Every structure is written in structure tokens, then in C-alpha cells.
Amino acid sequence: MIPMVIDTDTASDDAVALVLALTDPRVDVRAITVVAGNVPMEMGVQNALYTVQLCGADVPVHVGADRPLVREHVFAHEVHGQDGMGDVGLALTGREPAEGHGVDVLIEMARQHPGELTLVTLGPLTNLALALRKAPDIAGLYKRVVMMIGAADGLGNVTPAAEFNAYVDPEAADIVFRSGMPLEMVGWDASRQDAVLSSADSDALAARGPLGEFAMVIQRQLWEFCREVTNVDGIDMPDPVTMAVAIEPGVATEAADRYVVVETRGQHTSGATVVDHLGVTGNEPNVRVVTHADRDRFLAMLHEACGQAAAVVGGAR
């Protein structure tokens, strides 16, 4: 079993990553902590709670940091819809998060299970940065930290240079990247190249059952964003492919240890993840950078997850 903690700014592709983890018999999700990112905190919490319930899972969802460390918050409603879940009328209200702040949960889980847990981060790194500031000892306590963040090829999706999760809270990302944690970065480049679903892929996944239908219908707004903004032929799935790498490291078909820094001061490049591919700085690598993923295996994992039984979810719309 892979004991796992997931930190997420739960919107539509996060939800698919949660479905992957929560339905995989090899994974034991111990806690979900929510961070502000795609959507405001309350929305991310409700979206995570809904997804957990639909998967029939019993996993606590904790409220985390409701804004970046120092910057004004930037949301991503144009990518995921006003409710973060494609605005398809899901009943995304009224569920109760667990006691305890997400930042404290990240600390306590690491201390209770030193060297055992895989931490998967699917949003801005605000919660993890705060946890590292409050309890620097946790830097050595996670087995793996697999992050959806940045872009190893320098191509951004918010600005020309910055990917969303890094752009929203570069100061937090900077703290995490300099922490000495065993970091693995799955950037938007890997998603854009190897985790794109065509409409035929999407239809096939939706046909697998209620979880498949859920996972695909909530991407409604994403199709337009990919067509209009990022020029992806279909929809790309950054958080799910990151989760796939966390569950099966072999899904990463190309990866290398690199020195990576996050730009916090650039006039045009704030939030850029600067990867020293050639080793020109002479600095020791601090991040395992994943640049390609096994698309077939990723798709097979999605099919498996989307075919699992779903729970009945009630509640008013």
C-alpha cells in the first residue's frame, strides 16, 4: 500500500486525480488538505468533499491556507467554471470538513509516519510552505513529494513564463523548492504532451460508469480554455498525470535530477520554474523533473478508476 496525503485546490482536474487515488486499491489516502488556488477555499473544500463522497471513501478533508503568502489571489474560473467543477449543477454545498487546519495536518501526518508517506501536491504550495516554516523538521519526514507545478520547458499557461500553481504563490514554491524535501515535479509540459484526452477518449471514459461520467462532465469549461488559450488539441490533465506518477513511478518515462529555482521577482517571469537542464550553475540537483509520461498507461489507469463503483450522492443543487 502507498500511504498518501493529498494537498489540492480542488477543481475539475484535481477531482479526477482524487478519483484515481481514492479508487486505487494500492493507495491508502490518509488525509486531504485543501489550499486556495483554482477556486476560493470554501469551494475547494466542498468540491473535495463531494468527490470523496462520490468515491465512497472515508477520508478527512481539511481546510488550509485561504490565500497566497504575500500576493493577491488569482483564481482560475475561466479554466474550471464558476464552481470549479464545470458548472454542471452538482450539489456542491453543505458538507462538513474535518477538524484541524490543513497546515497542521501536513505536519502531524509527517511526524506520525516518518519516512512512510507520499505527499501529492496539486495546487499552489502555500500549505506546504507554511508547514515547513512552522515545522522545518518535516522536510526530512516525507518519503516522496510529487508536485504538479511549473513547466520544465519554460512555457507557461498563465503568463508566457509561468504555470498556474507556481504563478499563484511563487514565494511558497520558492520555500518548498529550497527545502531539501525529496521533490518530484510534474510540470505542465508533461501534461500538455502526454496527458491530453481527445473527445473520443473523454467519451470512452465517461461510458465506463458514474465515476467516469463525473470525471468527464466536470471538464466542460476546460475544453473551451484548451481550445481558446493553451491551444491543446483536446483537454490536458495535469493533476491526474501527476497522481499517476505518484501511484506508479514508472508512468514517468523521462525524468532527471535537476537544480530548479522559482522566479519570485521577475517583471515578466514571476512564477517561472527555472530548470538547470545543462548544469550550468554547478548547483546540486534539488528536484526530480519529470518531462514525459506513459500516455497509454495513464489512460489505462483512468479507465480502471472511471469504471469503479460510485456512491449515491444526495443534497440540493
Stretch that binds Ca ion, among 40-48, 84-92, 196-204, 233-241 (CB under 5 A): 233-241
Q: Which is nearer to Ca ion, 64 or 141 (CB)?
A: 64
Contact 202, 222 (CB under 8 A): no
Longest dimension (CA), the chain: 57
Q: Which is nearer to Ca ion, 52 or 122 (CB)?
A: 122
Stretch that binds Ca ion, among 98-106, 154-162, 172-180, 237-245 (CB under 5 A): 237-245
- Among 81, 86, 97, 123, the residue binding Ca ion under the rule CB under 5 A is 123
Nearest distance, CB of residue 259 and Ca ion, angstroms: 25
**Grid cell digits, residue 37:** 488556488
Phi, psi for residue 228 in degrees, rounded to 5: -85, -35
Q: Which is nearer to Ca ion, 9 or 201 (CB)?
A: 9
- Among 2, 12, 14, 79, the residue binding Ca ion under the rule CB under 5 A is 14
Phi, psi for residue 101 in degrees, rounded to 5: -80, 140
Task: Identify residues 17-36 at the interface with Ca ion (CB under 5 A).
Answer: none
- Is 183 near Ca ion (CB under 5 A)? no
- Among 122, 138, 244, 245, the residue binding Ca ion under the rule CB under 5 A is 122
- Is 7 near Ca ion (CB under 5 A)? no
Phi, psi for residue 186 in degrees, rounded to 5: -105, 105
Sign (positive or negative) of CA dihedral 151, 273, 288, 52: negative
Q: Which residues pair with 119 in a beta bridge?
A: 5, 145
Q: Which is nearer to Ca ion, 123 or 154 (CB)?
A: 123
Q: Which is nearer to Ca ion, 141 or 301 (CB)?
A: 301
Amino acid at position 86, single letter: G
* Residue 249 CB partners (closer than 8 Å, separation 6+): none
Phi-psi region of 152 (alpha: psi -120 to 50; beta: other; left: phi over 0): alpha
Q: CA 29: distance to chain centroid?
A: 14
Q: Which is nearer to Ca ion, 68 or 123 (CB)?
A: 123
Task: Give the interface with Ca ion as residue ranges (CB under 5 A).
Answer: 9, 14, 122-123, 239
